[in-house]
Amino acid sequence: MKWSWKIARISGIELRVHATFLILLVWLALIYYQETGTVAGAAYGVLFTLALFCSVVLHELGHALMGRRFGVPTRDITLLPIGGVARLDHMPEQPQQELRIALAGPAITVGIAAAIYILLRVVGLPVALVEQATAHGDRGAFLAQLMWVNIGLAVFNLLPAFPMDGGRVLRAGLALRMDHLRATEIAARVGKWFALLFGIIGLLFNPFLVLIALFVWLAAASETGATQMHTFLGGVNVERVMIRDVRTLASGDTLDAALDHVLQGFQHDFPVLEDGKVVGVLTRAGLLAGLARHGRDAPVAGSMEASFRTAEPGELVENAIARLGGSPCHTLPVLSNGQLRGVLTLDNVGEFVMIEAALRSLSSHKTTAGKLQP
């Protein structure tokens, strides 16, 4: 995640903080200072926020460590103004495992609240819900407030707003009765309705909920797309999806020749050959940058992307596109014995997924219609 920095490593998991979280701390300090008129009041607000986010980190660690039990590594945990985000490498397709991972975080949060409750009872301090306190308030107010906020977070996280924890619990429950993709689609639809609700409430009462609504909506859409990709690309090899009718360029060709190819066809990225071997890829961005800097008559070799990944016809599409994440070039030349056989791009992979989704929808409609016939 851009604009985030590593601050610690816990149990082998990188803990990062996003720049917007630091902005949140400054903003809260100003709010508390305006309300209390003292530096101590501002410090109280910042300390309480940090204590709350310590609880959030433990919550996310609950997800991460439970995921590790099922062989699911966690890339990192990032602190954002809306909370913490644990980037698990993937979610297990077995509903029981996803259910346990989803519930692990809220269980930690409830455990924190229970521990604070016991501590307050042991030392004889009140546990009743109190208003936000300043540094001059009741000595138990800080802990009591932290306890109630953790309870509120546990309840909020268990709302069935996919991909929040409650939404993942919903998907896991649905996946026990139907296929994983259908369960994801239903859970995402419910999540988007909750996002709309959060947005309306946020506009009326708390703008912070608008940010959460936006996150839930985008994350639900993103996870649905990722699940579709995994469902329809499972077991599919590159040869089935790749583009075979590929125009190529020689390293000595001019950018004007590449421009003619673009204007005459659908292709945007071109493998560049030298003695029959792929030596680079001229991307659309590279072509435009080359035209702006060097003009039409410049050779493509000066504008092509020389750092590129390749794929083989027989390998799985999922394995091939996974390599695109760390590559500056998002077109994979498909090679067999060093010879170009086609190209694989995210665009044609997306088109394949959309076609498979449409065919699946058609098949589902026919099955439903068949069941309704007398």
Read off the pLDDT of residues 207-232 as tens digits, 9 standing for 90 and up.
889 989 999 999 999 888 888 888 88
Contact 253, 287 (CB under 8 A): no
Please state, rounded to an integer, the average pLDDT across all residues of the chain.
87
200 with 252, same domain? no
Residues in CB range of 141: below 8 A, 6 or more apart: 130, 133
CA separation for the pair 187, 168 (Å, rounded): 8
Q: Is the pTM of this model over 0.85?
A: no
217 with 244, same domain? no
113 with 70, same domain? yes
Domain count, the chain: 3
248 with 342, same domain? yes
150 with 181, same domain? no
Asked whether residue 227 is assigned to any structural domain, the reply reads: yes
- φ and ψ at 343, to 5 degrees? -135, 155
Range of the domain at 51: 1-158
Q: Which two tokens stand for residue 331?
A: 């077109």
- Please count the other Cβ atoms lying within 10 Å of the Cβ belonging to residue 131: 7
8 with 112, same domain? yes
CA separation for the pair 298, 330 (Å, rounded): 23
Cα dist. 350→14, 214, 285 in Å? 32, 24, 20
Asked whether residue 346 is assigned to any structural domain, the reply reads: yes
| pLDDT band per the 50, 70, 90 thresholds, residue 92 | confident
100 with 65, same domain? yes
Q: What is the pLDDT of residues 296-342, one digit of tens each?
A: 999 999 999 988 899 999 999 988 888 876 677 888 999 998 899 99
CA 187 to chain centre: 16
184 with 82, same domain? no
Asked whether residue 196 is assigned to any structural domain, the reply reads: yes
189 with 136, same domain? no
135 with 40, same domain? yes
Of the residues 173, 204, 233, the one at which a domain ends: 233
Cis bond before residue 163 (omega within 30° of 0)? yes
Rg of the Cα trace of the chain? 26
